[in-house]
Structure formats: C-alpha cells, structure tokens
Amino acid sequence: MRRTVYAILLFLAAASLPMKAKETETPRIVNIINFIRGVEPRDNGVITPEILYRTVEEQAKCLRKNDLTGTYLLMYNALIEPRYQTLLKEERKRGCEIGGWWEISQPQCEDAGVKWRADVPWLHHANVGFSIGYTQQEREKLVDTYMEKFKEIFGNYPVSVGSWFIDAHTLYYMWEKYGIVASCNCRDQVGTDGYTMWGGYWTGGYYPSKKNAYIPAQSKKNQIGVPVFRMLGSDPIYQYDAGLGINVWQSVKTLEPTCTDGGGSEKWVDWYFQTFTEDPALGLTYTQMGQENSFTWARFHPGFEMQATKLAQLRQKGSIRLENLEETGVWFSKRYQVTPASAQSAMSDYSGNNNRTVWFNSRYYRTNVIWEGNRIKLRDIHLFREEYASKYLTTPCTTPNFQYITLPLVDGNLWSTQESLAAMRFYKKVGETLIELQGGQPVLTDKGKTLLVEWPLQNAEGTLALLFAEDKLQVTAPKGLDWCMELRTQPEADLPFTSIQEKQITAQQDKFPYSVMLKKGTVKDLRNEGQGKVMRWEPQGNKIIVEMK
C-alpha cells in the first residue's frame, strides 16, 4: 500500500520536475552520484573519518560553485553521523537528493539484531559488506533498520538506493514495501575488488528480473518495478579488454575522477563527453559522474573539479540532461513499461588507433560491434533470461568474492588471451579461403526501436548492414557476395555450447539451458577442427537473422 501511495505522489511530482535540457527522443542523461562511507578500515587508519567527511564537504562546495545538483548516497555508518546529516540537509535545500548506499556495516547489523561477521566496522568482502551475505530474513531486517533510521533523520524514506550490487530479494523488498523509484549498480567488470559482474545491460537503465537483479526481465510480471542504472561511465572501446591477459582482474578505465587515464585525464574526458553527447545513439544514453569518498579529495579533486566545470558547460549548451537519480528513475518509469532497447556509440578514438564501437542492449540480449581500423567484429553477445536465478537469491554468499554473469553466445573477454581474441568475424569466401571483410566509416541510423549500422565495404562491392532489434540480430550483405560469419576463441576457452545444429545453438551455464534459433541462415559446427574454431554462420540468400528471445 505504501508503495502505491508513494508512486502516485511521485507521478504528480514528476510533472513539476525541472527539465535540465530540451527533451529529445534520445536524451543524454547524466547523474552526479557521490556515495559516502563513514569509515575506511582498509588503509590501516590513514583515511580517517575526518578525511572522509572533508572529502564530501569539498564535493558539495564544488557542486555549489558550478551551480550543479546531485545525489548523495549514504552508507548506514555515515547516515548516523550528525555532521553528514547537517551538511546534506543543507544540500537538499538547494535541490540535491539524499538516498541510501547499500553496503552493510557493523552499526547497521547491531541495530537490526543481525550478527556482524568481521573484526572491523566495515569490510568490503561480499559475504560481509553486501546483503547477499545474509539470509532473506536478515536482509529484510537490514532494510527495515536503514529505512526507519533514514526517515527519523530526514523525515522520509529514501527513494533511491545504490550499491555495487543489490540482490533481487532485497531490491524487490525495498521497492514493494518502501516504494523506491531508482537504483544503481556497478559497471561490468571481471574480478575487480573481488566482484565479477559480466554480461549485463551495458549502460543505461533496465528493469531487473525478480530472480536475478543483474538480468533484465523479459516480461512485466516477472520484473522488479524499479529501474537500475549502470554506474561509473565505462570507456566504450577499451574498458572491455582492460587488463586482459595481464591481471586476474580488470583494470579500470572509467569516468571516475580518480582514474588517471580515464576520468582524471582532460583529454579522455573531452573525448568521452563528445561521444556521449554527439555520437549516434538509440533510446537514451546515460552516465554517472562522481566518486566515493574513500578515495579522498586530495587524490581526486583535479578530475572532479574539471568534470564539474565541463558538465556545467554541457548543461548550459543543452547537450545533456543533468538530473538527480530520483528524477531519472521517475522519468524512466513513466516512459517505459519494460526494459527498452538502447544503444550508445563511439565513432572516434582518442588513442589514435582508429577504433570505433557500438553497444546495443535490450531486454533479450546485449551485443557489441567494434571496428579495428578497417575490420569489423562482434566482440560480445550475451543473452538475458528472466528464469536464470542468481545463486544468491535464497542462499547467502559465503565467500569474499561474488559473481553475477549472464548467458554468453560470444564472449570476447573470458574466451580470449592477449594473443587470441575471441570474436565473431566477417569473411568473404574465395574458393576455400576465408578473407576478412574490410570497410570504411560506418553510418548509424536510429530507426526508433531498432538501430541500423551500414558499413561500406572496401574489398567487396556494396554495403554490409547490421540491424539490431529488440529480439533479433539481422545481417545483410550485398547480393552476389559469398560470405559468412565465424566464431573463433582461444583454443582452451571453457565454452558453454552443448549442441550446434543447422538452425539452433544450445548451451548451458550453471545447469541452466539456453538457446538461439537462426530464422534465416544456417550454422556449421567447427569445434572438431581445433585452433579455437567454434561455429560458422552461413547466410540464406544474402541474410542471417538470429532470434535472440
């Protein structure tokens, strides 16, 4: 009942929310989100509570200086600190949003009557610092305790709650009982800080499945009704392969101001904002600027101040919509009943390598096409199935690390080494020889609910066209061209495929079966040929159409 009443109030309030830039069919939305911890025990007392507070104080000063508003998300151990309360109540008066940051700490557990499982007041390990480490009953107690304390201090329940990750049971409980309207989670990454989140909706917002908050639901009845937005602004070209073959975890190349070759570099930031605001897109583009206070103002203030100035300029030009997380969540829910198709592109390369890329997402799958010079490849295809339940849905995580993954059809990271990069590549046939297709500058067209990519060929006549639709991928080549697509991986890759037949590809992950069908074209199983060859897609006529639902 509380959620229903609150939703009505938010709907009425939404009509009076200020629009930060002109409404377009493909809005470019930016949230400034700073998330706040009250303690940081990982640096042996070097980062004191005083340093943490001063960091947030300086962030607030910077936003005021640039006439910017943002969202502050409070961990429980910061929520109960009076000086954060005083500072952020003043920030709220000028239009900032105050919400929850969902990392679990000792005082929250103690106030909820839940056993704390560490010898420090906060621990970033998955089985201690995240709700997945607790039973469903304990998760609900932790939510109730946070919500009541927040209301006691600020006079209302928070409507936005973010975290590196919030499990489906907890997120559903927050939405159903307390009416939250927006959430955010970490970007895709492999192993960073012990957290693997791989194969999800790459950027933007989605409605998660009730069984797995990392996977978009395909149906309204099986979705949690709060949109989740991907944080941190990943480099669309280079984050995917960052650290591949060098580290057991990914390095970071994001908009975070502390990232020296990302958000801390003015050259990179200028390129990122240019691609974000000007390059072709579909549905909406979204990014998040901001930084956790654990990195400290002394470390990240140059990047933070530089980005704040640029965002103020972009807002003034009307190039972006700068919103609080709540505003974006309300807008998203009014516009979309289920997870939309969206795409974001980068049609230039700040590094000078002449790489370009497009990320496409829908409620059924995500895919990434990348051009490396004059060659093209599908670097990634991951499928979404709402019935694929997280292993932490009902059972607590017992390890310091956690893993959320979706269902791979092409994985250019996990199936790769530096010497052998997995991908679905495009070839023309000359007798028994396959020669990679080569082409020029792609042209992207927003078709409303689909994205058309046209690539003029250089070593063949005509244009190759890729049409990304919500539930299918269509590839069309010039008539008369003898061509195919072929998936190759590093030879030792652990692949999920259980059957590769003429019209159907079947796979299994965590004992969960999934498959795709070719509506047009055929598949040839190449696994017995070795050398990392997996399968070949052959056209029917001049088309290949893969059904992704």
Residue-wise pLDDT tens digits, 404-424: 999 999 999 999 998 999 999
Q: 469 by DSSP, 3-state: which?
A: coil
- In this prediction, residue 246 has a pLDDT band, given cuts at 50, 70 and 90, of low
Which residues, in sequence order, are bridge partners of residue 537? Answer: 485, 523
pLDDT above 70 coverage of the chain, percent = 95
- Pairing mode of beta strands 182-185, 228-230: parallel
The helix/strand/coil state of 542 is: coil
Query: What are φ and ψ of residue 234, in 5° steps?
Result: -70, 145
Which helix (H) or strand (E) segment is 227 a member of?
none
Strand pairing partners for 344? 281, 359
Residue 20 lies in a domain: yes
Max mean pLDDT among 7-16, 17-26, 254-263 falls in 254-263
Cα(504)–Cα(491) distance, rounded to whole angstroms? 23
Q: Is 28 within 8 Å of 285 (Cβ atoms)?
A: yes
Average pLDDT in the 32-40 region? Answer: 95
Q: What's residue 251's pLDDT?
A: 81
pLDDT, tens digit (0-9, with 9 covering 90-100), for 171-219: 999 999 999 999 999 989 887 777 889 999 999 999 999 999 999 999 9
Q: Contact 427/485 with Cβ under 8 angstroms?
A: yes
Nearest to 397 by CA among 126, 191, 164: 126
What sign for the dihedral angle of Cα 381, 281, 233, 91?
A: negative
And the tokens for 470?
Answer: 């919500």
CA 72 remoteness from chain centre: 19
What per-residue confidence (pLDDT) applies to 19? 32
In a domain, 89, yes or no: yes
Asked whether residue 451 is domain-assigned, the answer is no
Position 7 confidence tier, pLDDT thresholds 50, 70, 90 = very low
Identify the pLDDT of residue 280.
94
CATH number at residue 41: 3.20.20.510
Q: Given a cut of 70, is residue 13 above it in pLDDT?
A: no
Banded pLDDT at 286 (limits 50, 70, 90): very high
pLDDT of 192 reads 78
CA nearest 52: which of 35, 28, 32? 35
Taken in order 226, 232, 234, 235, the sign of the CA dihedral is: positive
DSSP 3-state assignment of 293? helix
The closest alpha carbon to 346, from 271, 257, 289, belongs to 271
- Residue of 109, 133, 136 lying closest to 120 (CA atoms): 109
Report the pLDDT value the prediction gives residue 16, as an integer from 0 to 100: 35
Handedness of CA 525, 529, 530, 531 (dihedral sign): negative
pLDDT at 302 over 70: yes
Residue 361 has pLDDT above 60, yes or no: yes
Asked if residue 303 lies in contact with residue 257, where contact means CB atoms within 8 angstroms, the answer is: yes
Alpha-helical runs (H) found in 216-321 = 266-278, 297-317
Q: Which pLDDT score is estimated for 271?
A: 96
Average pLDDT over residues 270-289: 95
Reading the block at residue 250, the tokens are 């990914």
311, 72 Cβ separation under 8 angstroms? no
> Rg of the chain's alpha carbons, rounded to an integer?
23
| pLDDT recorded at residue 462 | 95
Count the domains in the chain: 1
Q: Tell whether 126 is covered by a domain.
A: yes
Secondary structure letter of residue 457 according to DSSP: B
Nearest to 169 by CA among 102, 112, 248: 102
Burial category of 260 from C-beta neighbours within 10 Å (exposed 0-12, middle 13-18, buried 19 and up): middle
Q: Checking phi first, is residue 466 left (phi over 0); if not, alpha (psi -120 to 50) or beta?
A: beta
CB count within 10 Å of CB 312 equals 16
Q: Which residues pair with 289 in a beta bridge?
A: 32
Count Cβ neighbours within 10 Å for each residue of 208-225 and write b for 16 or more, e otherwise: bbbbbbbbbbbeeeebbb
What is the rounded distance in angstroms from the CA atom of residue 249 to the CA atom of residue 400? 15
Query: How many residues are recorded in the chain?
Result: 549
- Please give the helix or strand (H or E) that residue 43 lies within, else none: none
The CA distances from residue 470 to 169, 199, 465, 548, in Å, are 27, 17, 16, 8
For the cut 90, the answer to whether the pLDDT of residue 43 exceeds it is: no
The span from the CA of 163 to the CA of 42, in Å, is 18
Q: What is the DSSP letter of 187?
A: P
Q: Is residue 287 part of a domain?
A: yes
Q: What is the pLDDT of residue 370?
A: 97
Residue 3: pLDDT band (50, 70, 90) is low
Q: Which two tokens stand for residue 292?
A: 């956790």
Please report which confidence band the pLDDT of residue 247 belongs to, taking 50, 70 and 90 as the band edges: low
pLDDT band with cut points at 50, 70 and 90 for residue 248? low
Per-residue tokens: 547: 């059904």
Helix ranges restricted to H, 359-425: none
What pLDDT, in 10s, does the model give residues 468-494?
A: 999 999 999 999 999 999 999 999 999
Domain range enclosing 21: 2-345
**Residue 137, pLDDT score:** 97
- Are the C-beta atoms of 530 and 510 separated by less than 8 Å? no
Residue 271 lies in a domain: yes
Determine, yes or no, domain membership for 545.
no
- DSSP letter for 511, please: T
Q: Which helix (H) or strand (E) holds 389?
A: none
Longest alpha-carbon distance in the chain: 75
Distance CA 397, CA 170 (A): 14
For residue 339, name the pLDDT band (cuts at 50, 70, 90): very high
Query: Taken in order 22, 23, 27, 31, is the CA torsion positive or negative?
Result: positive
What is the pLDDT of the chain when averaged over all its residues? 92
**Phi and psi at residue 10, to the nearest 5°:** -65, -35
Asked if the structure places residue 64 within a domain, the reply is yes
Residue 143 pLDDT level (bands cut at 50, 70, 90): very high
CB 361 within 8 A of CB 227: no
Q: How confident is the model at residue 5, as a pLDDT?
A: 43
